[in-house]
Amino acid sequence: MTEPAPVPDALLSALRARLGAAQVLTEPAALAPHLVETRGLYRGTASAVVRPADTAEVAFTVGACAASGVPIVAQGGNTGLVGGGVPRGGIVLSLARLSGIRALDPVGATLTVEAGAILAEVQAAAAAAGFLFPLSLASEGSCTIGGNLATNAGGTAVLAYGNARDLVLGLEVVLADGRIWNGLKGLRKNNAGYDLKHLFVGSEGTLGIITAATLKLFPKPLSRAVGFVGLASPRAALALFARMRRAAGPSLTAFEVMPRFGLDLVLAHRPGARSPLAEPHDTYALVEFSSLQPEAGMEAALAASLAAALADGTAQDATIGASEAQNAALWALREDLSEAQRREGGSIKHDVSVPLARLADFLEEATAACLAAMPGLRPCAFGHFGDGNIHFNLSQPVDMDRDAFLAEWGRFNAIVHDIVVRLDGSIAAEHGIGLIKRDALQHYGDPVGLDLMRRLKAALDPADLLNPGKVLPGEAAAQAPGLP
């Protein structure tokens, strides 16, 4: 990879003068954590990490970089899984210091926060006022709401509350030329021209830098029931889901699925973990019903639904948590899966979605195709089944070298993504495109849709300075590292 031109000293001096010298980091040790992504798949380069304190300083920084032609990648918690936050020259703009809670409106049920606020702190601010901010995902202790919005994060609450995009009413965004768009409206209905917020949500920092957001809050559920269900197949899980959705509607707040291999990994790698069911099953579903009422009979409702599913053979076995501690223990079996899989060795990962009606077809076809391509491979397809979103992960054969296995990443991507696209699915369900799927998007994407995306990029960032080469290949594309 050719190094981009270094950042001019005059720019760094101007940034130090405005932000303070301590907020413009150039020491290698200070830069290091900002140059890598979570899984270590990419290593980037940057001349500086710049830490503005507020929106005006973000605008100043972006404007100064624009004037010097210096590219910028915005970073929040740097927890993304697609390489979207990896710098490729230029500067890293850290939103870490924009972490304030600006306002909570209990009447409008809205929360206005700055982009660098940690998701868990946003959840806590909502909870302290008696509300729920439902976005929830594995990295919530370190990811930031700005990154969640920039990537349209998904997670475990999408079934009932939608993706991050659906949880935002208004945005404040610094544009590529350093201007500030003030779209921080807290309105439930607003048709005053084009909806600009949806343009920035999910654009992965390539069209603008989100500096603050007004979020929707919800009444806090006061009771829940959690079930863990043994099933004969993913197809049976689909039948169970359809039954649960019809019975519970918005009370069905989670429907997660994992395979027997996934549960086995958690049981093997987490000390003290126990299977909640007596016998092993091909497929497991974690089902949650929630209610705003403290005594809403959620356990009885879930038990009745599961009893019917057991009676007609849809489900093979099931248990319901008898306490909040047991509910949490059931959830932990699902939540610990990624970490257990990491301990098991190398994984080639796919974050994909298909229409629900094709979910079982997808799992059967993709599993067979991958096993045919590499006998001994251990598929671990799990995730947000009710959203049609599967983390189709492949654990390495037991006796294979990790790096040799990971070198097959591209080959398995092609196998899995071909099937996803044939089934009208998406190769990027909740993690985004970033760098890791950029070329795949070019390959699989609708050509007219790709042309529209290029036009939007050119309209909003004509100099290609905001996170260049992510999502879409830009002028710097030829210099981008390929897949690992």
In the block, tokens 């248990």 appear at 319
Shortest distance, CB of residue 352 to a second copy, whole angstroms? 9
In the block, tokens 């001349």 appear at 47
How far is 470 from 464, CA to CA, in rounded Å? Answer: 10
Sheet containing 209-216: order of strands: 101-105, 110-114, 209-216, 168-174, 180-183
Shortest distance, CB of residue 219 to a second copy, whole angstroms? 4
Query: Would you tell me how many other CB atoms lie within 10 Å of the CB of residue 31?
Result: 18
Closer to a second copy by CB, 404 or 452: give it. 452
Shortest distance, CB of residue 258 to a second copy, whole angstroms? 18
Shortest distance, CB of residue 388 to a second copy, whole angstroms? 5
Closer to a second copy by CB, 120 or 242: give it. 242
Closer to a second copy by CB, 224 or 431: give it. 431
Q: How big, in percent rounded to 5, are the helix, strand and coil portions of the chain?
A: 40, 20, 40
How far is 202 from 147, CA to CA, in rounded Å? Answer: 9
DSSP secondary structure letters along 284-348: EEEEEEEESSTT--HHHHHHHHHHHHHHTTS-SEEEE-SSHHHHHHHHHHHHTHHHHHHHTS-EE
Closer to a second copy by CB, 239 or 377: give it. 239
Closer to a second copy by CB, 189 or 274: give it. 189
Shortest distance, CB of residue 318 to a second copy, whole angstroms? 21
How far is 74 from 328, CA to CA, in rounded Å? Answer: 35
Shortest distance, CB of residue 296 to a second copy, whole angstroms? 10
β-strands 131-132, 218-219 pairing: antiparallel
In the block, tokens 């210096």 appear at 70
Shortest distance, CB of residue 187 to a second copy, whole angstroms? 5
Which residue, among 139, 142, 190, 199, has the nearest Cα to 165 in the 3D structure? 199
Closer to a second copy by CB, 92 or 168: give it. 168
Closer to a second copy by CB, 429 or 476: give it. 429
Closer to a second copy by CB, 105 or 401: give it. 105
Which residue, among 64, 91, 80, 90, has the nearest Cα to 174 in the 3D structure? 64
Shortest distance, CB of residue 64 to a second copy, whole angstroms? 18
Residue pair 152/134 in contact by the 8 Å Cβ criterion: no
Shortest distance, CB of residue 202 to a second copy, whole angstroms? 5
Contacts of 364 (CB under 8 A, 6+ apart): 234
Closer to a second copy by CB, 253 or 275: give it. 253
Which residue, among 471, 364, 379, 381, has the nearest Cα to 423 in the 3D structure? 364
In the block, tokens 């395979």 appear at 259
